[in-house]
Every structure is written in structure tokens, then in C-alpha cells.
Amino acid sequence: MTRNLAVNPSRIAEDIDDLAAITEPDRPWTRRSFTPMFLRGREYLVRRFEAAGLETRIDAAGNLIGRRPGTRPGLGTIMVGSHSDTVPEGGRFDGIAGVSVALEVARALRDQGVRLEHDLEIIDFLAEEVSAFGISCVGSRGMTGQLKPEMLARLADERSLAAGIAEVGGAPEQLSAPVRTDVRAFLELHIEQGTVLEEAHEDIGVVTAIAGITRIEIIVRGRADHAGTTRMGSRQDALVAAAWLVIAINQWAKKKAEGPKHFAATVGEFAIEPNAANVVPSSARLLVDARAERREDMLEFQGALAEMVRQVALDTGVPIDAPVTISDNLPTPGDPDVLDILDAACEAVGARHRRMASGAGHDTAWMARIAKAAMIFIPCLGGRSHSPDEWAETDDIALGAAVLLDAVRQLDVRLG
């Protein structure tokens, strides 16, 4: 479908291509936070922000911000953006597309001679991906007052996270409370990292909620024995019991995922002891990553998991500790008013759209603590992400930019 969009796709593609070229040699596309390569990417973005007429600065949390003043000082800020850091060999579009689109929104408003009443800020959040310090969404957590002292004290390469934030231009001593109180609304575009839009031949996903993420540790306590002489019926094999449990978790999650709301559960970490070929495993550790759009589904899973543990221990004769919740983040719904605005923006630009949940975490989840926040998805090829094969078409990204441009203009009126 040919569309006459009020954005420039070639400028978006140029930003993405130029950032893709700033990568560690032989590791496309790697630009980890708190590294020299990341700072090179930031230098590029500063030049592009300034060329768009934006006033640039680094805030206390280490976020790069480009500001376009509104016509009514003190009315508040509409913020749009994402992140420019990557996972190792992580992809050209994850986060980067969102920053490029946000910048294009500012350029399109300039080209059209449109002055918003609200201040408009374009943001590149610091370290959305899990950093060397073991923490994700560093910049958005910092902006919203969610970086605790113990987080700032975490060490990597003999420096603290606080020192890392200072090195990129931040002021970690100011992060004990939310940095901003003026942000009225926040919007983010991201590749879907799944195949829902691609398979449905739809253009835009309007994200109803970012799934809550709960991580649960389970310890299976078997008994070490000689693998050649201990009779099969006399063993307490921790690995066998753990395998039964993994299968039970997978089957329960697959059935729940058939429902209307997003749910997923993965045993993503697994370790056994003594991990020797001729020894019956004496223990196993499982870390379950569960994600639910609705809190009631997560609570149901936690109850079902306790029953799975009880039943597998009974059936195998292997003791299993009660599940221990390691971390537990609640789901973050999109703001209802902003979701309606995004739906209307999709209609205005002729984008086929649907409402859907996000199974991955994003900076939007933290920004929702201080502002009306929501996000949109665009399709990505085969749902591939966090991979060198990650790909999104320029036309799809540009259509997302047009949706956000329309939404920003609506927000400027509706927020008052």
C-alpha cells in the first residue's frame, strides 16, 4: 500500500544504518552500554539531535535528551524515545528503531513548522539491555527514582554502577528520588520481537500491557551414587526429577498461553551437581522465568508450580525444596487514554493495527510510574531479535513514525 506519510523514511534508514556501522569489529551489531563503542554511538546521536535543532544534554541518570521547547513554558513535557545500546551481537533495530523514529518525529514537526504547546523531548535511555552490572533499564529506573543504593554500588570491571553513570555524564548522587516531575506522557516504538503482526499481516501493535516478570528458583535434592552399580529402581536422581518438573512447567504454560492473555514460562537456567558422567546427579537448580499480562495468571501459576513440585517429589521419591521467588515485577498496563490516542493515530495514517501485550520488558514500564505511558510495536522478520539476523523494513518503521507523530500532536491538545 502506498501512503503519503508526513515523515521521511530515508532519514530514519540513515540513522539506523549509521548506528549499525558503529559496532565492535566482527561482532555485528554490538554496542554495549558503558563501553567506548556505546559512547561513539552517543556522539553520533548528539550530532543528529543538534542537526534537528534540539537542545541536547545528559541528565542525572545518564540519559541523552534532545529538547524542543513548547510555546507554553511550564505546561509539561511529551517524551518519545527508546535506547541505543545492544546485547552482544544483538541486532540493528532493537531500541535503535525507537530512537530513530523519535528523532524523526522532531524533524517532521520542524519541517512542517509545527510548534507544540508542550515541550517535546527525544530520549536515548542509558543501558536498557542488561548491563555488565547485571541491571537493565538503568536510565529509565534512574529517571523514575528506582535505582536503589545497592544497585548503584554493584561492581563490574572494578567500578561501580554509580561510577559508570558518572562516566557517561550523569550525576548518580541525584538519583535517590525521581529526576523528573514534568513528564506528562511518554511514547515508545519497538520491534515486536515476535511474529503476531507478521503472521496477521498487520502494521502496528498497540501495546495494552508489558507483562510482569517473576523469576522463581527451585532446588532438587537427590543423592549421589555410582552410575554403573546403583540399580535404577534404587536411585534418587535429581536430574530425572528436575526433567519431569521442566516438562510439567512447559505443559502448563502452553495450555495457559492458549487463552486470550499473554503468558509464558521458561526454565532458562539449569545446573546439576556433580555434573560427572559416572555419577547419579545429587542436585539440580532450576530458575523459572514466568511472564504474565495479568497478575491473576501469575498467581495461578505460582500455586500450580507448588503443586507440580509436590507431585514430582512424590512420584520420583526425590526431595524438592519449595519454590523461592527471586524477583517479582508486576504487569504494567498502558495508559487507557494514550492507548485510545494510538488507536486513533493508526486510523488516521491508515495502519492496520491490533491491541496486544508485550512479553518483554521495556523502558516504558518504568516511565509509566511518572507519566501517562504506552508503546507500539512494528513487525520484525520472523520475530527474530537479540540476533544478528534481526530485521525490520524501513517502510514499516516509517509507518510507526507516522503513528507516533500523529499521537504526539493529539497528546499536545488532549493533555491541556
CATH topology of domain 212-329: Alpha-Beta Plaits (3.30.70)
**pLDDT tens track for 108-154:** 999 999 999 999 999 999 999 999 999 999 999 999 999 999 999 99
Strand ranges (DSSP E) for 157-262?
Answer: 159-160, 183-191, 204-210, 212-221
Mean of per-residue pLDDT scores for the chain: 97
Looking at the DSSP assignment, which residues form a beta bridge with residue 78? 120, 185
> For position 2, what pLDDT does the model report?
47
**pLDDT tens track for 309-326:** 999 999 999 999 999 999
Residue 112 is placed in which grid cell?
512542517
> For position 4, what pLDDT does the model report?
76
In angstroms, the Cα distances linking 413 to 68, 70, 361 are: 17, 12, 29
CA 289 – CA 327 distance, rounded (Å):
10
The domain segmentation of the chain, as residue ranges, is 9-210+331-414, 212-329
What are the residues whose beta carbons fall under 8 Å from the beta carbon of 192, sequence distance 6 or more? 198, 205, 377, 378, 379, 380, 383
> For position 26, what pLDDT does the model report?
87
**pLDDT tens track for 68-120:** 999 999 999 999 999 999 999 988 999 999 999 999 999 999 999 999 999 99
* Mean predicted confidence (pLDDT) in 281-296: 98
CATH topology of domain 9-210+331-414: Aminopeptidase (3.40.630)
CA 136 – CA 127 distance, rounded (Å):
6
pLDDT at 66 over 70: yes
